[in-house]
Amino acid sequence: MLIKVGLPVDNDRGLRRCCPFCKREFKIVLTEEELKGFAQKGLESFMIEANGESDAGQSEPLQEERTCPYCGQKASVSSWWTQAQVDFFMDIARNMAIKEINKSFKRLERLNRPSSPVKFEAREIKQVEPRVLSEPNDMKVFELPCCDQRIKIKEDWSDKVYCFFCGFPHESEAESN
C-alpha cells in the first residue's frame, strides 16, 4: 500500500530537522527536484526512516550519516525527524489501519443471513484527526559551499556551523550577507 505524504516546507523550501543529540532544530533547504521526490515517496519509506533510529549505528554500514550543524555529532540519515513529524506519520499510519479494520468489519456484516439467529453488526472505528503540520518561515539561511547546499539555522546562532552533509566545520562569519 503506497500512501503519499506531503511534508510542509517553508518559503525557502526548508524542511525542519531535529538533532537526536542536542534536540536543536534546523532546516535543510531542498531543491525543487528533491521536494518533488519527497512528495512522491510513500508513507512506508517515511515510516522505515522514522523508525530507523533504534537500530542505527555500526550494525548498518549502508546507513549514511549526517552531522548536526550545532553540536557536530553524527547520526544516521534517518535520525533527524522532529517529534511532530513522527507523530504526523503515526497518525496517518493509524488511520490506514483503522480503515482496514472497518473494511473487514463491513465484510463480516455482509456474511449475516436473515435466517441466522446471530447477527454481526459493524460499528465504525473513528479515524484520528490528523494533526496539521505547518512550517513557519523562521531561521536564517546558511550556505554550505563545501557541499553546494544550504541549510537554515537558528537566528541567534553565532558559533561554528557543521555541514549537515559532510561535517565540515564552518565559522559562523562565513555566512553570506
* Residues 93 and 32 sit within 8 Å (Cβ to Cβ): no
**Between residues 52 and 167, which has the closer beta carbon with respect to Zn ion?**
167
x/- letters, 85..124, toward Zn ion (CB under 5 A): ----------------------------------------
**Between residues 91 and 175, which has the closer beta carbon with respect to Zn ion?**
175
Beta bridge partners of 42: 4
Q: Which among 11-19, 78-86, 118-126, 130-138 is the span making contact with Zn ion, rule CB under 5 A?
A: 11-19
* Residues 24 and 71 sit within 8 Å (Cβ to Cβ): yes
C-alpha cell at 124: 465504525
Q: Which among 31-39, 100-108, 120-128, 146-154 is the span making contact with Zn ion, rule CB under 5 A?
A: 146-154
Please give the Cα distance from 85 to 46 (Å, whole number): 10
Site membership for Zn ion, residue 174 (CB under 5 A): no
Site membership for Zn ion, residue 146 (CB under 5 A): yes
C-alpha cell at 147: 557541499
SS3 17: strand
Residue list 58-77, contact with Zn ion (CB under 5 A)? 68, 70-71
The separation between CA 41 and the C-alpha centre of its own chain, rounded to angstroms, equals 11
Site membership for Zn ion, residue 21 (CB under 5 A): yes
* Residues 21 and 65 sit within 8 Å (Cβ to Cβ): no
Please give the Cα distance from 75 to 57 (Å, whole number): 8
Site membership for Zn ion, residue 165 (CB under 5 A): yes
**Between residues 5 and 69, which has the closer beta carbon with respect to Zn ion?**
69
Beta bridge partners of 16: 27
Q: Are strands 65-67 and 161-162 parallel, antiparallel or unpaired?
A: unpaired
Q: Which among 9-17, 75-83, 84-92, 168-176 is the span making contact with Zn ion, rule CB under 5 A?
A: 168-176
**Between residues 68 and 161, which has the closer beta carbon with respect to Zn ion?**
68
Please report, as ranges, the residues that interact with Zn ion according to CB under 5 A.
19, 21-22, 68, 70-71, 144, 146-147, 163, 165-166, 168
